Amino acid sequence: MSTVIDELGAKLKGYEGRAAAVAGTGKDPVNEPMIRHWCEAMGDTNPAYAGPDAVAPPTMLQAWTMGGLSGHAGRTGAYDELFDLLDEAGCTSVVATDCEQEYLRPLRPGDEVTFDAVIESVSDRKTTKLGTGYFVTTRMDVRVGQDLVGTHRFRILKYAPAHRKPKASGARRPRPVVNRDNAGFWEGVERHQLLIQRCTNCGTLRHPWLPGCNTCGGPDWDTVEASGDGTVYSYVVMHHPPFPAFTQSDHAADAAGPYAVGLIELAEGVRIVSNVVGVPYDKVRVGLPVRLEFRRYDDDEDDPLVLPVFRVQEGREGGVG
Ligand SMILES: [Zn+2]
């Protein structure tokens, strides 16, 4: 079985560098109505995208190349062949994993785009939580006349779905969605550190993690480790519907019942949503001093989950409010 798949891997590599689309042309020139609709949909009010000197939002790059319901023109057979090979090998599922764009110059109304796409790379066989398969990266070069105006890399995972065994308890916490913007936070959690992002331009602390500073717009940041002290800034008690995975296991009486979700203000000034532990849900109060700890959930060897939670300080429950 594995020999078959390795042969497949070699065959798939043979598609690297082959054209996926040649001499594609945008269905419409870059135009103000499409820009306006995009900006309305995105809630983007940047003045650069309106008025007589408008440019198109750079992130619209792919929109100018899309075939729409009437389909694509200029697509080669190579991409379809590659997909057929993967389908035949059982890799029948597909998920888009990421997209990277580079912008070389702004597009303006009236620009007529053309594009070529190449199968840039096919990964070795990878096993992910979704299943085993191959990452396929396609690069599209977008031009106006002879000028390269941008590139669009699009990566998919074509895979054979894993058969997930249901958990005996049936109550498992949803896993965090880890991406490039928040990976550092979750790496910190693994080391039992709660890391707060700090803008290196203006010094503003921020949480949750973001790619830029809301205060000054600066993209550069470092981190500071939270001391672990905090207070309950606000909280809600969840009664219905019941989610057994979220109940507080250190209070058996609550096992099937309500639980408190706290908004914790850290000593450093930023706030984080977390569980308040150490007291029953109906003893959580605004202003309670809490202390950070890291708790492991679900006892899942394959997919461990560690989360920061906040424990009410000894003797303080019921003492405030
Ligand atoms: Zn800043």
Under DSSP, is residue 220 helix (H, G, I), strand (E, B) or coil? coil
List of domains in the chain? 7-161 (3.10.129.10), 174-225 (no CATH), 228-321 (2.40.50)
Share of the chain above pLDDT 70, in %: 89
Residue-by-residue DSSP string for 121-138: EEPPPEE-SSEEEEEEEE
Q: Judge whether residue 5 has pLDDT over 60.
A: no
d(CA 81, CA 88): 10
d(CA 99, CA 89): 25
Instruction: Give residue 319's pLDDT.
Output: 47
pLDDT digits (tens, 9 = 90+) for 126-152: 988 888 999 999 999 999 999 999 999
Q: Judge whether residue 114 has pLDDT over 80.
A: yes
Instruction: Give residue 243's pLDDT.
Output: 73
Mean pLDDT, residues 216-239 = 95
| In contact, 24 and 114? CB cutoff 8 Å | yes
Share of the chain above pLDDT 90, in %: 61
CA 217–ligand 1 middle distance (angstroms):
6
Number of alpha helices (DSSP H) and beta strands (DSSP E) in the chain: 4, 14
Instruction: Flag the least confident range among 238-242, 256-260, 261-265, 281-285.
Output: 256-260
Instruction: Give residue 315's pLDDT.
Output: 66
Q: How confident is the model at residue 115 (pLDDT cuts 50, 70, 90)?
A: very high
- Average pLDDT in the chain: 87
CA 177–ligand 1 middle distance (angstroms):
25
| In contact, 270 and 185? CB cutoff 8 Å | no
Q: Judge whether residue 81 has pLDDT over 60.
A: yes
Which H or E run contains 37? helix 32-42
CA 220–ligand 1 middle distance (angstroms):
8
CA 212–ligand 1 middle distance (angstroms):
8
CA 53–ligand 1 middle distance (angstroms):
30
CA 49–ligand 1 middle distance (angstroms):
25
Instruction: Flag the least confident range among 174-183, 238-247, 285-294.
Output: 238-247
Mean pLDDT, residues 300-321 = 74
Would you state the structure tokens that stand for residue 301, as one six-digit string? Answer: 């060897």
CA 146–ligand 1 middle distance (angstroms):
39
d(CA 117, CA 22): 6
Burial of 260 (0-12, 13-18, 19+ CB in 10 A): buried
| In contact, 306 and 190? CB cutoff 8 Å | yes
CB atoms within 10 A of CB 266: 22
Q: How confident is the model at residue 302 (pLDDT cuts 50, 70, 90)?
A: confident
pLDDT digits (tens, 9 = 90+) for 152-172: 999 999 999 887 655 555 677
Q: How confident is the model at residue 73 (pLDDT cuts 50, 70, 90)?
A: low
The more confidently predicted of residues 254 and 27 is: 27
Q: Judge whether residue 186 has pLDDT over 50.
A: yes
Instruction: Give residue 149's pLDDT.
Output: 96
Q: Judge whether residue 254 has pLDDT over 50.
A: no
Mean pLDDT, residues 228-232 = 97
Q: What are the beta bridge partners of residue 122? A: 136
CA 222–ligand 1 middle distance (angstroms):
11
Question: Closest by alpha carbon to 243, among 160, 156, 174?
Answer: 174
Q: Which residue has the tokens 């707060």?
A: 196
Q: Judge whether residue 99 has pLDDT over 50.
A: yes
Instruction: Give residue 16's pLDDT.
Output: 93
CA 153–ligand 1 middle distance (angstroms):
30
State the pTM of this model. 0.52
- The contacts found for 240-247 with CB under 8 angstroms, 24 or more apart, are 243/171, 244/169, 244/170, 244/171, 245/171, 245/172, 245/173, 245/174, 245/297, 245/298, 246/173, 246/275
CB atoms within 10 A of CB 278: 22
Q: Judge whether residue 252 has pLDDT over 60.
A: no
